[in-house]
Chain A
Amino acid sequence: MLSCKDVTRLISESMDHSLPLGKRVGMRLHLLICTFCSRYERQLLLIRDTVRRLAAMEDAYGSLAGELLSEEAKGRIRKSLATP
């Protein structure tokens, strides 16, 4: 019988490669009856989905989490481009 600790590991692994049949079935059965683990899976998938949308909208990230290149760094880079 798989423990919750085992299942969280399998949930993550299933996001990176397809699990062998036995493990997959064991994980799915556990998820049917375990509220915490199925919540865990939903949350990992939400994080994945959010990060993918974020990466697909790089410009939006820029305008939101807008840390800018400092003026000092810009000056330094301009200089290095002018005298390579």
Chain B
Amino acid sequence: MAQTANLDPSEWVDRFGDYLFRFAMLRLRDRSVAEDLVQETFLSALSARGSFSGISSESTWLVGILKHKISDHFRRQAREAPLGDGDLREHPDLSSFDGSGHWTSGPTDWGGNPADLYREKKFLDQFAECLSRLSPNLANAFTLREIEGANTGEICKVLNVTETNLWVILHRARMQLRRCLETRWFDRKTEKEP
């Protein structure tokens, strides 16, 4: 339906600015980086206007460009701050396990499996908060794997890590995220509801 001639860059910011910004915020967790990448997305789109085929919608096309910018940003971050010991090894004081590998305090009962969590604003706020508490390498790996649904081979290339290290990072990301959500959401929720 949409044709090249119909692209109107002067309206982009009003029509797609907030949408692209939220898309970027969920993945980047940093307001100023997200703003920059949205701006770069519009600028790239402007100069690549001619390549817009009109087969996909304008917003899908813009999101596609933004996705590339986000991957590039992750690549750059991985180059500037490569995997460290802190990403791969749990500090003993923070471990959930004793010396023989038993739980010191196991996961608490979350009370059923609420299927509609993704619709709850307060939960999403806590999720975003917990994700931003992970180290950048852990959070970026989790984002690529679970939000973007990328396969492990692609993620290894972006983050420049071996597959074995990626499994370790994802394991640590999931464990920390789970614990954070338990503390900040599920435990509080079951306290409130008898």
Contact = CB atoms under 8 A, between A and B. Distances in A.
A50 B117 contact: yes
B159 interface: no
A29 to B, nearest CB: 16
Interface residues of B, number: 60
B69 interface: no
B167 interface: yes
Contacts of B21: 67-69, 73
Most buried by A among B23, B39, B96: B39
Contact of B118 (A13, A39, A53): A53
A64 to B, nearest CB: 4
A60 B119 contact: yes
Interface residues of A, number: 50
Contacts of A5: 97, 101-102
Contacts, number: 154
Contact of A12 (B9, B117, B171, B181): B171
B80 interface: no
A78 B43 contact: no
10 A-B pairs with least C-beta separation: A3-B101, A36-B106, A5-B101, A12-B171, A69-B21, A54-B118, A53-B118, A64-B121, A5-B97, A62-B22
Given A13-B171, A16-B145, 16 more contacts: A3-B102, A5-B102, A36-B106, A40-B106, A42-B113, A46-B113, A52-B149, A54-B118, A58-B22, A59-B19, A64-B124, A69-B18, A73-B39, A77-B17, A81-B12, A81-B42
